[in-house]
Amino acid sequence: MKSKSIALIGFMGSGKSVASKKLEELMSMERVSTDDKIEEQQGHKIIDIFFEKGEDYFRRLEHDFIKSIAETEGLIIDCGGGVVLDPENIKVLKQYCHLIYLKASVQQIFERVKDDHHRPLMNVPDPVGQIKELLALREEMYEQAEFIIDTDGKSNDEVCQEIVRVLKNE
Ligand code: S3P
């Protein structure tokens, strides 16, 4: 029997991608990345979708994909950082999955995203200001998760062990 899926949410650079890869290994579940799936389905990179069709269009693709997989069991879902902007996404993910927020500080996020230029929302003159602003807007949405894992100063292995632990105690 397959177990309830796990959905990881959190800001860009909070470590969802590496954590989901490790959890796939640890829990023998199948990893799905919303960003990768959208890129695969559209045949375009996220940055090009944002640029050519706009953010709203991307958010609709994201919502459609979340809806299509939320009920599937046995998945580790690596959610794009903005998935929480649509309350319907939070609702459906919470209904069917363990929703886990990987929380990281502005500084930690900046360190992780600063050399990576494939994120459209981070290609701005003041990335730290942008992180602060978006995080302030999104924090309460992320905090609707079932579990909140503080990732600052922790290795990916430590974060994943904590996830496994909280899920066992649940
Ligand atoms: C976004 C996060 C990105 C990607 C897109 C928008 C956001 O995913 O979906 O660039 O709005 O926070 P990651 O969180 O995996 O970087």
pLDDT in tens, 41-55: 999 999 999 999 999
For 57-100, what is each residue's pLDDT tens digit? Answer: 999 999 999 999 999 999 999 999 999 999 999 999 999 999 99
Q: Enter the pTM of the model.
A: 0.97
Cα of 83 from ligand 1 centre, angstroms? 8
Cα of 1 from ligand 1 centre, angstroms? 32
Give residues (CB < 6 A) around ligand 1.
12, 16, 35, 46, 80-82, 119-121
**What are the distances in angstroms from CA 81 to CA 13, 34, 89?**
9, 10, 12
User: Average pLDDT, stretch 132-156?
Assistant: 97
Closest protein CA for atom 16 of ligand 1: 12
- Count of C-beta atoms within a 10 Å radius of residue 115: 6
For 14-37, what is each residue's pLDDT tens digit? Answer: 999 999 999 999 999 999 999 999
